[in-house]
Amino acid sequence: MDADTFREFGKAAVDFIADYYENIRDCDVLPSVAPGYLINQLPKELPENPQQWQEILQDVSKLIVPGLTHWQSPNFHAFYPTGCSYPSIVGDMLASGLSVIGFNWLCSPASTELEMVVMDWLAKFFKLPAHFLHSTKGPGGGIIQGSASEAVLVAVMAAREQAVRRVKAAQPELSEGEIRARLVGYSSDQSNSCIEKAGILGTLPIRLVAVDDSLVFSGTQLAKAVKEDLAKGLIPAICIATMGATGTCSYDDIESLATVCEEHNIWLHVDAAYAGCALALDDYAHLRQGLDRVDSLNYNLHKSMPVHFDCTAMWLRDSHKIVESFTVERIYLQHKYEGQTDIPDFRHWQIPLGRRFRALKVWVAFRTLGAEGLREHIRLRIRLAERFEQYVLADSRFELVAKRAMGLVCFRVKGGNELSTELLKRLTDRKKIYMVQAIFQGKTFLRFVVCGMEPKECDIDFAWQEIESQLSQLLSEQEVAKLEVSSLEAKKAEECHKESVKVPQVHRKDDVVGISQQLSSGLHISLGAAEKCK
Ligand SMILES: *Cc1c(COP(=O)(O)O)cnc(C)c1O
């Protein structure tokens, strides 16, 4: 492809993306395809001859888009959001366009230095302790990892190597193998699956401590687990606290966990993947408590910031501990300034050697929005969740399961678990909105999360109409089913007791269908209002 064709193709692709976003509300949020839909439409062999970009772009529209779950649709309310914005997309286009691999400073000074700058910007925006800033010129600093999973794994492996060194120095009679076999880590049973996985990958089993109904993992629980493990001869190496757990967005008590960790030389990592954005708002200043005592911290810009995947900020209190553990030297990786400046070679802070220029999309997005724009991005999602919460509170058929936290509302249909599960099944089959369920204290509940690139109030109204009208439909159908059962029973009774004079009178099915028709036409009128949401 020559540069002129690239210009045409690139511009057409940008138009295509803009059209996609402008019309995203027209699509069902979930796709209507069956497994194999794409495999069956594509050739089995790589095409022998070159094809035109026009044809390829057309196929993206015709074949790829129908198989997408629209994560950036404002009707997506599952999991947690994945951030996105036009400036972030353009920033990443530029990074792809420049295509550099910045594993050490010389391999692209701009890549390393811009990353240091934006990580310091973000640390200050979050008012993190100064020892996490590169500009403090201490051993601390920030790096962009691909995902929270990677950041946690790096922390687990660094903690593991630290523990091995420490114990070996104190008890030289123990072999390294003996020490490694005794290491153990801790997190709450509410923590993300990636924590347990990091323990498996990092050969450091993570004990998931069961928390009580408050869902808060605190120092008391950690101290008890540590005591039990020490008695068994195990060596506690890391504790991973969560700010904003995946189920209900609960927060662990970092201050009290830190006290136990300091006493036992345990590495304390905080996974703030989603809710870390709260640190940007003064209303949530109390969440900073204890952060001055943690060894490392991760926050996913690609969740609650207008920056798209993959982009996880990770801060280290003492990067030497990681560099010590992970440094592997080769003559071809050396450069003139290596180890002579305060500028890190980020290859030592991460799992792969190569690294993308992720700082560019962050820089473009941050500059385009400004600090106040970023705060407003976060506040808007909180306000919209509050709007949804008000709807739940105003409808006596529903109840909240936990306190609303950031952009997450946990709610359920009052009564048995089947009602919430059945409601979710219907909503998912209809594909107008997408939520997932979770369980708390044996109760199944639905998680409503404000997601999408540009959610608005009318999107929340649309979601609520969909939810409450489907519940009405479900309840009226159950009513019909009940009546049918009783009519059947009545018939049986009639047959058994032919001689009995009076048969109980039952409602005809049609009466109830009449009601649901009325409901759905009512819904149609209100849906008309939501359709204006553009
Ligand atoms: C989403 C999430 C993760 C996983 O994030 P990835 O970047 O996909 O690895 C981990 N922890 C918490 C609390 C999360 O919300």
Contact 390, 460 (CB under 8 A): no
Ligand 1 pocket test: pick from 194, 311, 447 the residue with the most ligand atoms within 8 Å of its Cβ: 194
Whole-number pLDDT of residue 164: 95
Q: Ligand 1 centroid to 247 CA: how many Å? A: 11
* Residue 15 host element (H or E): helix 3-22
Q: Which atom of ligand 1 is nearest to the CA of 242?
A: 13
Whether the link from the prior residue into 292 is cis, omega within 30° of 0, is: no
**Residue 490 confidence class, pLDDT cut points 50, 70, 90:** confident
User: Quick one: average pLDDT of 437-447?
Assistant: 92
CA distances from 53 to 7, 91, 464 (A): 11, 23, 42
Whole-angstrom Cα distance, residue 351 to residue 29? 35
The residue whose CA is least distant from atom 4 of ligand 1 is: 148
Q: Whose CA is nearest to atom 14 of ligand 1?
A: 273
Ligand 1 within 6 A of CB of 246: yes
The C-alpha atoms of residue 424 and residue 226 are separated, in whole angstroms, by 40
Query: How far is the C-alpha of 123 from the C-alpha of 299, rounded, in Å?
Result: 10
Mutation pick for ligand 1 pocket among 191, 196, 271, 312 (CB with most ligand atoms within 8 Å): 271
Site to substitute for ligand 1 among 196, 217, 246, most atoms within 8 A of C-beta: 246
How is residue 309 written in tokens?
Answer: 């995947």
Question: What is the 288 CA–ligand 1 centroid distance (Å)?
Answer: 20
CA of 321 to the centre of ligand 1 (A): 24
CA 294 to chain centre: 22
CA of 29 from ligand 1 middle (Å) equals: 22
Query: The sheet that has 398-400: what strands, in order across it?
Result: 398-400, 408-413, 443-449, 436-440
What secondary structure does DSSP assign to 138-186, as a single string? SS-EEEEES-HHHHHHHHHHHHHHHHHHHHHHH-TTS-HHHHHHHEEEE
Which ligand 1 atom is the nearest neighbour of the CA of 150?
9
Q: What is the pLDDT of residues 151-203, one digit of tens each?
A: 999 999 999 999 999 999 999 999 999 999 999 999 999 999 999 999 999 99
Mutation test of ligand 1: which of 152, 191, 196, 300 has the most ligand atoms closer than 8 Å to its C-beta? 300
pLDDT of residue 482: 83
Q: Are 275 and 81 in contact (CB under 8 A)?
A: no
For ligand 1, what atom is nearest to the CA of residue 272? 13
pLDDT digits (tens, 9 = 90+) for 346-372: 988 998 888 999 999 999 999 999 999
Ligand 1 atom showing the smallest separation from residue 303 Cα? 1
pLDDT tens per residue, range 230-258: 999 999 999 999 999 988 899 999 999 99
Say if ligand 1 is within 6 A of residue 149 CB: yes
Provide the token pair at 162.
């630290």
| CA of 480 relative to ligand 1 center, distance in Å | 43
105 lines ligand 1 (CB under 6 A): no
Residue 515 has pLDDT above 60, yes or no: no
d(CA 295, CA 152): 12
* Ligand 1: residue whose CA is nearest its atom 5: 148
- Tokens in use for 376? 């407003």
- Find out whether 31 and 66 touch, Cβ atoms under 8 Å: yes
Asked if the model's pLDDT at residue 73 lies above 90, the reply is yes
192 noted as active-site residue = yes
Please work out whether the CB of residue 299 comes within 6 Å of at least one atom of ligand 1: no
Q: Is the CB of 476 under 6 A from ligand 1?
A: no
CA-closest residue to ligand 1 atom 2: 273
- Place 493 in a pLDDT band, splitting at 50, 70 and 90: low
Predicted local distance difference test score (pLDDT) of residue 494: 64
Greater pLDDT, 54 or 331: 54
State whether the beta carbon of 273 lies less than 6 angstroms from ligand 1. yes
From 104, 192, 298, 300, active-site residue: 192
Pairwise pLDDT comparison (246 vs 274), residue with the higher score: 274
The H helix count followed by the E strand count for the chain is: 15, 11
- pLDDT at position 532 is 57
Is the shortest distance between the CB of 389 and ligand 1 below 6 Å? Answer: no
> How far apart, in whole angstroms, are the C-alpha atoms of residue 241 and residue 270?
5
Q: Is the CB of 197 under 6 A from ligand 1?
A: no
Integer Cα distance of 141 and 29 in angstroms:
39
Q: How far is the CA of 285 from the centre of ligand 1 (A)?
A: 22
Q: Is 250 in the pocket of ligand 1 (CB under 6 A)?
A: no
98-107: per-residue pLDDT in tens? 989 888 888 8
In the structure encoding, which two tokens stand for residue 450, read together?
């404000």
DSSP letter string, 63-113: IIGGG---TTSTTB-SSS-----HHHHHHHHHHHHH----SSGGG-HHHHH
